[in-house]
Amino acid sequence: MTDKAPHIVAIANQKGGVGKTTTAINLATALAATGRRTLLIDLDPQGNASTGLGFEASQRKPSTYELMLGDVSLESVTRPTAIPNFSLAPSIVDLSGVDVDLAGRPNRSQRLRNAIFPSETASLANGYDEILIDCPPSLNLLTVNAMAAAHAVLVPLQCEFFALEGLSQLLNTIERVRRNLNPRLAVEGIVLTMYDRRNNLSSQVEADVREALGALVYETVIPRNVRLSEAPSHGVPALIYDQVCAGSQAYQFLAAEFIRRKGKASV
């Protein structure tokens, strides 16, 4: 990999529990395994990505909170994980109050972008090939900051009855960010998560989503897999915890598809 600017993707869905953090951790791990220098930015005050990578509260300062305030540099909040080529910018719970902290301050929506790109031509992230941003379950200031900094948005969609509900609101937010903050923002794709082969509902939801959204939907589908949910309590990605489980395999396929599709994003 060369020293070109990184590809930045926000992983967003205002619904909680749809697989954003699981996708962020395991896609990042699979990308890092291909030799791509990968940074995961934890922009959720709950800090599940940071916990899932084994970072205790005491190891998280400075965090993305200080980064959003403009008190510290991107470099000073990133640290290596136990996985080669994989760095983390952790979050702390104080991040939940950042919208209040930034009230009345200029460029509130562009704090993250300015931390990565201090000017039109300068980037402080050229040491990375891929940057993934794990967003909170809300279309709030943090998610808008992630979208303003990103090239594209990756949307995990849980295979459940109301899967498509809320998606138009999310696409609407993307459109507004495009209009006001980041004209180049694309939709990277939609990933179906927690697919249950034994359940007819999952295949029905898959069919409906593919019919509605066509090529935006990744071919790779992430199965419901208990190993994916066990791994975070061990502080490691599923891809390290159990490399051959169905969930880990799916995230490796997803990474391959992500690399193939990159730059071809539409909508």
The binding site for Mg ion (CB under 5 A) comprises 20-21, 48
- Type of residue at 18: V
Which one of ligand ADP, Mg ion, none is in contact with 19 (Cβ closer than 5 to 8 A by kind)?
ligand ADP
17 binds ligand ADP (CB under 6 A): yes
Instruction: Give the nearest distance from C-beta 208 to Mg ion in angstroms.
Output: 25
194 binds ligand ADP (CB under 6 A): yes
Beta bridge partners of 112: none
Which one of ligand ADP, Mg ion, none is in contact with 91 (Cβ closer than 5 to 8 A by kind)?
none
DSSP label at residue 266: B
Which one of Mg ion, ligand ADP, none is in contact with 133 (Cβ closer than 5 to 8 A by kind)?
none
Q: What is the distance between the alpha carbons of residues 192 and 157, in angstroms, rounded to a whole number?
A: 5
Around 215, how many Cα atoms within 13 Å sit in the side-chain half-sphere? Answer: 5
Which one of Mg ion, ligand ADP, none is in contact with 45 (Cβ closer than 5 to 8 A by kind)?
none
Give the long-range contacts of residues 195-198, CB within 8 A, separation 24 or more.
195/159, 195/221, 195/222, 195/223, 195/224, 196/159, 196/223, 196/224, 197/223
18 binds ligand ADP (CB under 6 A): yes
**Contact stretch for ligand ADP (CB under 6 A) within 67-75, 76-84, 120-128, 221-229:** 221-229
Beta bridge partners of 9: 132, 152
252 binds ligand ADP (CB under 6 A): no
State which of positions 164-193 bind ligand ADP (CB under 6 A). Answer: 193
**Contact stretch for ligand ADP (CB under 6 A) within 55-63, 125-133, 168-176, 220-228:** 220-228
Over the range 150-186, which residues count as b (16 or more CB within 10 Å of their CB) and which as e? bbbbbbbbbbbeebeeebeebbebbeebeeebbeebb
Interface residues with ligand ADP (CB under 6 A) are: 16-22, 48, 137, 193-194, 222, 224-225, 228-229, 232, 247
